[in-house]
Amino acid sequence: MMACPLVLGCHLSTTGGYRAMGETALSIGATTFAFFTRNPRGGNAKALEADDVCGLRQLLEDNGFGPLVAHASYTMNLCSDKASAIDFAHRALADDLARMELLPGNFYNLHPGSHVGQGPDEGIRLIVDGLNEALDKGQSTTVLLETMAGKGSEVGRSFEELARIIDGVREDQLLGVCLDTCHVWDGGYDVRGDFDAVLDEFDRVIGLDRLRALHLNDSKNPCGSHKDRHERIGRGEIGLDAFAAIVVNTRVCGLPMILETPNDLSGYAEEISLLRNLAKDAAGTSRPARGKA
């Protein structure tokens, strides 16, 4: 089987500016990366400099990068039980999507939210309302709903919950899904035992064409734990063999894959190299994936 070009990267800091993120990505062998559009634990968004953003766009084009996967702030909760929190989430989402248009054609990853005791039905209704308000059919950014581990009152703990959100959004062509391997494992989907079966289920419930990116994370906890504790690749319960199979799976191997493991920059460089080597080693021996390509 021919090797599939891997689009690999990790979360990078915006502290040095946008072009600096691209230069850092190149230095660690990445061909995509993720970044927070604003303070991940707060509400502030750093002012953008047009020349800096243009510099990054040129670097991405010159070096054949895949799509970037920006990440919304953790403090955004479209289905909070507090009106002030929902108002902030709506304003931050609109502002982030406007800013993303300076980097056209990329992805914006969003935790759907936590219903904080209101129940998943009300949580889904509020999330749908927020997305319907924010999404503009003229935008170039695709919003990705992230699969969640089911910790606390998280919405998005199953493929069915994500499908219900997508079904309620008018401009649903602007929505996709980012599958987090730790989250779905902790949520009860056995990505270690049979990743193709997980993709089959995703395809049945949501549609594989909605899968636009992956977060590659091992897990500190067993399948179905609903705890969301990331581990380095090959050092957790999912294990190295599973990731060796994932990176050569023809149904996902061309998608941007973002590492969110507990690492520093050198650790990410090692994991990117590890995954590329696993793909090379596995490409000659793996059987083609089942189902739709």
Checking if the pLDDT of 239 tops 70, the result is yes
Average pLDDT over residues 6-35: 97
Q: Would residue 291 count as lying in a domain?
A: no
Q: Would residue 22 count as lying in a domain?
A: yes
**How many structural domains compose the chain?**
1
At 153, which CATH number? 3.20.20.150
Average pLDDT over residues 9-18: 96
Q: Would residue 166 count as lying in a domain?
A: yes
Checking if the pLDDT of 290 tops 90, the result is no
Q: Would residue 168 count as lying in a domain?
A: yes
- How distant, in Å, are the alpha carbons of 49, 94, 130, 182 from that of 4? 36, 35, 37, 23
Strand order in the sheet with 175-180: 7-10, 256-259, 211-216, 175-180, 142-146, 107-110, 69-71, 34-36
Amino acid at 71: H
pLDDT given for residue 3 in this prediction: 62
Q: Would residue 1 count as lying in a domain?
A: no
pTM of the predicted structure, to 2 decimals: 0.94
Q: Would residue 2 count as lying in a domain?
A: no
pLDDT given for residue 2 in this prediction: 52
Q: Would residue 292 count as lying in a domain?
A: no
Name the band, by pLDDT with cuts 50, 70 and 90, for residue 46: confident
Average pLDDT over residues 208-216: 98
**Closest by alpha carbon to 18, among 75, 76, 88, 65?**
65
The residues that are catalytic are: 41, 71, 74, 111, 146, 180, 183, 215, 228, 230, 260
pLDDT given for residue 281 in this prediction: 87
Q: Which residues form the domain of 182? A: 7-283
Checking if the pLDDT of 229 tops 90, the result is yes
- How does pLDDT run across 60-93, given as a tens digit for each residue? 999 999 999 999 999 999 999 999 999 999 999 9
Q: Would residue 21 count as lying in a domain?
A: yes
